[in-house]
Structure 1
């Protein structure tokens, strides 16, 4: 007991003895904890110099001015030393409410070298430009370097190989940068992330060996680097990473040898993307069969053939994509190859744009499948009669195939959100099971052969529906006028459906939609005022090809974004009201609008398509077209416009198609039109334009495909520069006062020299509206058209315009000979040189134009014989050689003889079928009692007719009596009468032709 007490006393004494020191130590520790760590002054100064070199339009670095740089935006310091260790000025990763539209620009100052303790530098998504600064290779403590999307160009500095501690390197998206050899990368043994997307590595023949020697590598991004394809058989894998999980080599020209290299990482790979490479033939069996950890495999846009069969043991595979590859064979076979353990894991399967055929398998066997994309293959047959089990599918895309039959029972797809079955051959009724898909958001069934009446019964449970596309079927929509839809639609596409009523009343319940297409739906009547106040989000409206009436209100504030509006082919009237100044497309053609087009002056320069044709618009063009720098297509044909084309309309011009046909416009073609170098179509026909044909057309407008100046007042010669128009397919200068000769260089019109055309359509794309700055842009496809005289009839050509190659120079004052080079234009379908003063012969080799359907050389001064080669014009449907000085025999050919004699009339010395006069030396045997030879005009005189009359009167009764009694005499007499009738006909025709020629001369 005494020992215990003694011990207690000793402990108490020691506590009392040392308690002041313990208190003091406590105080010191507290003081240290309260010490405020501030940045180093020289580092603060270095950051300020760095800031001075930047352009900070939105004040991102406005906080860079206080004493403590550790509190500045994007700057982090060490808690113990105060040194700056992290600089993060990434533009994309800013807080959403602070995202600026103006990233940092300017120069990256070498003052950053003062930050020698910096281990994290991120300047990504700021467009600095120039080269990657060399000094960055001297920031030796860097572990994380991200300079992606900085618009750098030039050589990537080899000095980056000095950053021996670097673990993360991202230079992605610096498209103008390049690297020679990659050996400097092998010094960075701690690298786990390598991002060199879009860096030119054409000369880096060592790339495969270098990345194989990075022992810590987990992620490799070499997308679109122009990687040279190298063999992997000599590559050493001794120091290779055992943890490489992510490989993106897409967008290069790699060949099948890359499969062997990838197989060395089969146990670690999780993500592989080989899209857009030169992979050929079938996928080899060893390529992926042992990659049991692989989750994502992308082989899009390659040249793989057949049906891959290497997926049975890939039990982890969740995403598999062969988008736009060359897969062929039966789809059923591919599903069989996925029937191993893959079928229980696969969630995403994309086989779009391939050549897969056969019928649809029961895709519910893939129990985990969430998305199935089979768009644009060659699948036929019908849906399976029944599906095996409930499916977890959320996306089913079977569009653009050849599937037929009726729609199946979709009730097994209770989780379906997107259903695309457009552009098939489906028929029958619209399945009511679709209306039970309560989670459905997007429904596309357009361009099929479905026939049914859609009512509220079909739509009652579609609570989440956003996109509703029934276009181009034989469907009738008949909803009650008091029906309240359970959904709020974003897209309403009902083109070519029949709507029972006027504008559907249920539209009044929809106030969020942005896209409305009710074209060709048979709606009629006045447009009610409520229609124009439906949705503030509307950026696409198509009411064309209906029978709607009324006067449009002010629409300038009724649309969102850059709207596209089509009200064509209706009965709207009155003046054109203000439209949104930001509209991208406007079509009001084929209505009854009147007045001027001054409303266009409010446009702010987004318009790419304008069609106001076929109205009653008048007046001169406004001179406020300067902002319209985005206009691609302009059609003002068939109105009453007058005045000149203002120069301001075509300054800085991007226009591709200009239609001003059938107005009362005058003046010369403005020289500013030569700025429109993209012009493919010019149609100024049926106006009052004058002046000479501009030579600059052939110098500047080299994309011209159609040039029509028909029925104007142009004069002067055809400039030889037009022969530079290698793409020209339709040339129409008819009904002007053009003189001189036809240029000899016609054989330079390359498109007409070729006897084939790549496409029956002549079309181009244009902006068809967008919901706004942050929304996607829709594209429209404009099909070009032209009005041509074909077989004597003025007709519009559209769907076959690309096949038509025509020259029409008729009704001018052209002289000289038809150039022999015209026979080189073997693609010509129509050639019309009529009603000129052309002389000389028809080119002997004109028969080379074996596609020619119309040939009109009438009303000229052509002489000589019709070339024998004309007998080769087997496609000829219209021929007119009348009223020339042609002579000789018409070549014997069934086609040439099939035309009416009027095709050769007025050529006095032509003979042979189908003309009645025979050629010399080819007389027919004659009756000895009668002279059947055609007589000269001089034989048939007035006395001839008088004697005929007197003889008839004197001998009538005697002749009649004789003819009644004598059969042989009766027969000879009537033969004489027939012969006399023929003589009279020939004489009259010849004298009329002579009289016409006399008048013309």
Structure 2
């Protein structure tokens, strides 16, 4: 027995050793395997056209073994390349901090014989090179996964056809999202040549045809289970034949197109469907009652269409439904608990902007626990519906514009303090003191209410957007706000807040939008503001001191409003590194920013767009000259320096600000002539140069003469159209008055006499001085004078003799 036990122990030990050895062998680092030379050459050919600004594939040239190159995976035994993964997704998609490849995408990489996985997504290639002999690529039948999708908002990739797909017979996943395929009219037939395809992603490809080629009687995509055709340009109805392509499809995304007509009945035949999105189209008619017969549907998205009629009660039968979004339609009737009777799995409910009646009993408790609820603009008020308080798992809540004016204090506090993603209660009439609350949402919007007391505390964990504008908050910024280090957006416009707020927010190093306008904040502008700032609004406060030069080194800044404060001193004379005010760079905004903007002589409620550039320093005590560097910001469209003490002249460089639409220099001490270059500001819609010391003639140009005299009044020495008091001799000498003419003649006469006097004195002392100092000149002068005297004497005597003789002769006669 002992011997048997020993043998068994030895056998188990041997098996364990063998297993350990095999595991070790199977996990050998791929860098120990030398790659195939042919594969290496193909990869280097692919690399030739790539621009790699971030050095992502720098190892491709510094090491010989391509199996150790970044993004390359080889078979551990053969050394053949099996996977190429060069995707460059950002760490946070919202940030778009991409480190991506550019240049040419050369599909000769498909010649890798054992390649099964190719991922080049999230890059910015601008050209695709499809080898002309792609039909001869026989080895790519092993390819299972192909993702060439581009960054949709940056893509300039175009592809004329999809014929190169035909050899990829084993492909199961294909994504070409973001590539322009508008020239490929038979894309469905091209895809059909891949019989094993399970997932097809063609999002934002400019496709415009959902109809089958009439010459093709039948198209088989029976293996397809996932299809994403969102955000294309399908303008027709959704044909039944299209939805009959495959019966086993589980995921269908057609949102963001222009699909018309009604929801086709063939949709109800897709019994395996789990996800369907038809949002953002132009669908009409009603939701079919039969939709409640889709047994496996989990996500139903029909929002933003033109659907009408009653919301079918059969929706309540979809027991597997996880997400329901039907907002922004024209439904009528009412919604009651019957609509939700069996929706035990519901997690997301979106009923935004529905003109329906919500009929829920006060004590109704839903069968679900939501994590997301969106009821904006849906007539919920005047009280928050009691069933919402029963939702203990809510992470996102949108009750904006819902007519709510009254809340249950204790339940309300408990509700909003547990929201940790999105809390939007804006545009209501709620009145509560929130000073003792701590909010922890990622996005917090309580704007346009009547909240009072001090500002609520905000948990630093993950908060990025805070909008508390248009309320009656008072007091100073809570100390807890000092820790909001990843805050991107803050809007406190139009409250009763005070104190030195900027010292509390100077640690928010990722801040992009800072709007503190219409309060009573004080202090100075700090030097260490977030380098990512794009919008700064400190308007109508009590800030004082100088503008720190560091403010003009914010390269992303596009909107600067410091108007109506107590700021003083001169503008910094430094290099203005406001890059986005010099070069045209449109940024993709992640949120709509509504700001108060004064432009073109009027106040506007203005949705900030990424292409707007504004500088407003009006109504302060700035002095000194306007720096030349300011006029180098050629992308600025609104510039307001009015009601200050600026002096000096306007630089002629202002003519280079060709995008200028609103220009206000009024009520300063500017002088000199208006630069002729201002006539080149062809987009100027508002101009105010009044109440300065400008002189001379207003430059002639269609734009400058189109404004009325109020744009130039208060400059006594300024003339020319549209002013009527032009009195310069150059323009109209007939209009000179007698008094002005006499003054001019006296000035000329005085100048003439003064010149004659000076000339006589210089000539007299020049001659006399020479006679006095030079002996030879003096003797010569005396001889000259004697000679002249003798000649005068002889001439005089002869003249007298002749006159006497003539008189005697006349007497005798």
TM-score by length of 2: 0.74
Residues 498 and 741 of structure 1, relative CA distance in 2, 3 Å threshold: same
Q: Give the distance between the partners of 1:275 and 1:891, measured in 2 at CA.
A: 57
- RMSD of aligned Cα (Å): 4.3
Query: How far did residue 462 of structure 1 move?
Result: 2.8
- Residue-by-residue CA offset, 1:913-952 (whole Å, 9 max, x unaligned): 22222433478799xxxxx877989xxxxxxxxxxxxxxx
**Equivalent residue runs for 1:501-512 within 5 Å:** 501=358, 508-512=365-369
Query: How far did residue 827 of structure 1 move?
Result: 1.6
Aligned to 1:307: 161
- Residue-by-residue CA offset, 1:89-128 (whole Å, 9 max, x unaligned): xxxxxxxxxxxxxxxxxxxxxxxxxxxxx4445xxxxxxx
Is the Cα–Cα contact under 8 Å of residues 202 and 225 in structure 1 kept in the other structure? no
SS of residue paired to 1:821: helix
Q: Give the distance between the partners of 1:872 and 1:390, measured in 2 at CA.
A: 62
Segments of 5+ residues of structure 1 without an aligned counterpart are 1-29, 38-77, 87-117, 122-141, 146-165, 173-178, 187-196, 227-249, 646-668, 764-780, 927-931, 938-1001
**Equivalent residue runs for 1:106-185 within 5 Å:** 118-121=17-20, 142-145=21-24, 166=25, 168-169=26-27, 171=29, 179=31, 182-183=33-34
**Equivalent residue runs for 1:707-722 within 5 Å:** 707-722=536-551
Aligned to 2:237: 382
Is the Cα–Cα contact under 8 Å of residues 554 and 577 in structure 1 kept in the other structure? no
- Residue-by-residue CA offset, 1:128-165 (whole Å, 9 max, x unaligned): xxxxxxxxxxxxxx2222xxxxxxxxxxxxxxxxxxxx
SS of residue paired to 2:268: helix
| From 352, 372, 391, the counterpart of 2:227 | 372
Aligned to 1:522: 379
Aligned to 1:91: none
Asked if residue 724 in structure 1 is aligned to residue 553 in structure 2, the reply is yes
Asked if residue 607 in structure 1 is aligned to residue 466 in structure 2, the reply is no
Q: Give the distance between the partners of 2:367 and 2:280, measured in 1 at CA.
A: 27
| From 820, 823, 833, the counterpart of 2:628 | 820
Asked if residue 704 in structure 1 is aligned to residue 513 in structure 2, the reply is no
Asked if residue 32 in structure 1 is aligned to residue 14 in structure 2, the reply is no
**Equivalent residue runs for 1:104-503 within 5 Å:** 118-121=17-20, 142-145=21-24, 166=25, 168-169=26-27, 171=29, 179=31, 182-183=33-34, 203-207=62-66, 217=78, 222-224=83-85, 255-262=106-113, 271-273=116-118, 275-276=120-121, 280-282=128-130, 294=142, 296-301=144-149, 305-309=159-163, 317=170, 319-324=172-177, 326=179, 328-329=181-182, 333-339=186-192, 342-343=194-195, 345-361=196-212, 365-386=220-241, 391-409=247-265, 410-448=267-305, 450-457=306-313, 459=315, 461-476=317-332, 478-480=334-336, 485-488=341-344, 489-501=346-358
Q: Give the distance between the partners of 1:547 and 1:468, measured in 2 at CA.
A: 23
SS of residue paired to 1:328: coil
Query: How far did residue 452 of structure 1 move?
Result: 0.3
Q: Give the distance between the partners of 2:703 and 2:627, measured in 1 at CA.
A: 25
Residues 329 and 568 of structure 1, relative CA distance in 2, 3 Å threshold: closer
Is the Cα–Cα contact under 8 Å of residues 380 and 404 in structure 2 kept in the other structure? yes
SS of residue paired to 1:479: strand
Residues 693 and 525 of structure 1, relative CA distance in 2, 3 Å threshold: closer
Is the Cα–Cα contact under 8 Å of residues 174 and 201 in structure 2 kept in the other structure? yes
SS of residue paired to 1:80: helix
Q: Give the distance between the partners of 1:638 and 1:446, measured in 2 at CA.
A: 34
Q: Give the distance between the partners of 1:452 and 1:880, measured in 2 at CA.
A: 52
Asked if residue 892 in structure 1 is aligned to residue 700 in structure 2, the reply is yes
Asked if residue 807 in structure 1 is aligned to residue 615 in structure 2, the reply is yes
- Residue-by-residue CA offset, 1:554-602 (whole Å, 9 max, x unaligned): 456558783422111112222238767654333222122222345x27x
Asked if residue 914 in structure 1 is aligned to residue 722 in structure 2, the reply is yes
SS of residue paired to 2:3: helix
Aligned to 1:929: none
- Work out the number of aligned pairs and report it: 690
- Residue-by-residue CA offset, 1:661-717 (whole Å, 9 max, x unaligned): xxxxxxxx42x65433333333344444445554x24xx543333333333444444
SS of residue paired to 2:406: strand
Is the Cα–Cα contact under 8 Å of residues 660 and 684 in structure 2 kept in the other structure? yes
**Equivalent residue runs for 1:25-104 within 5 Å:** 30-33=1-4, 35=5, 79-80=9-10, 83=13, 86=16
| From 406, 426, 432, the counterpart of 1:568 | 426
Is the Cα–Cα contact under 8 Å of residues 503 and 523 in structure 1 kept in the other structure? no
Query: How far did residue 184 of structure 1 move?
Result: 9.8
Residues 292 and 512 of structure 1, relative CA distance in 2, 3 Å threshold: same
Aligned to 1:543: 399
Residues 393 and 216 of structure 1, relative CA distance in 2, 3 Å threshold: same
Residues 219 and 719 of structure 1, relative CA distance in 2, 3 Å threshold: closer
Q: Give the distance between the partners of 2:438 and 2:514, measured in 1 at CA.
A: 28
Q: Give the distance between the partners of 1:479 and 1:853, measured in 2 at CA.
A: 50
Residues 869 and 803 of structure 1, relative CA distance in 2, 3 Å threshold: same
Query: How far did residue 882 of structure 1 move?
Result: 1.9
Residues 934 and 742 of structure 1, relative CA distance in 2, 3 Å threshold: farther
Is the Cα–Cα contact under 8 Å of residues 485 and 506 in structure 1 kept in the other structure? no
Is the Cα–Cα contact under 8 Å of residues 283 and 304 in structure 1 kept in the other structure? no
TM-score by length of 1: 0.61
Residues 879 and 574 of structure 1, relative CA distance in 2, 3 Å threshold: same
Query: How far did residue 468 of structure 1 move?
Result: 0.8
- Identify the range of structure 1 (420-429 vs 464-473) with the bigger mean alpha-carbon deviation: 420-429
Q: Give the distance between the partners of 2:394 and 2:82, measured in 1 at CA.
A: 41
SS of residue paired to 2:580: helix
Is the Cα–Cα contact under 8 Å of residues 670 and 692 in structure 2 kept in the other structure? yes
Residues 803 and 889 of structure 1, relative CA distance in 2, 3 Å threshold: same
SS of residue paired to 1:358: coil
Segments of 5+ residues of structure 2 without an aligned counterpart are 38-55, 88-99, 151-156, 741-813
| From 871, 877, 894, the counterpart of 2:685 | 877
| From 591, 594, 619, the counterpart of 1:782 | 591
Residues 900 and 445 of structure 1, relative CA distance in 2, 3 Å threshold: same
Residues 568 and 493 of structure 1, relative CA distance in 2, 3 Å threshold: same
Q: Give the distance between the partners of 1:453 and 1:867, measured in 2 at CA.
A: 64
Q: Give the distance between the partners of 1:433 and 1:482, measured in 2 at CA.
A: 16
SS of residue paired to 2:509: coil
Residues 914 and 339 of structure 1, relative CA distance in 2, 3 Å threshold: closer
Is the Cα–Cα contact under 8 Å of residues 523 and 542 in structure 2 kept in the other structure? yes
SS of residue paired to 2:699: coil
Q: Give the distance between the partners of 2:381 and 2:445, measured in 1 at CA.
A: 19
Asked if residue 681 in structure 1 is aligned to residue 539 in structure 2, the reply is no
Q: Give the distance between the partners of 1:690 and 1:556, measured in 2 at CA.
A: 31
Asked if residue 794 in structure 1 is aligned to residue 622 in structure 2, the reply is no
Is the Cα–Cα contact under 8 Å of residues 199 and 224 in structure 1 kept in the other structure? no
SS of residue paired to 2:207: strand
Query: How far did residue 200 of structure 1 move?
Result: 6.1
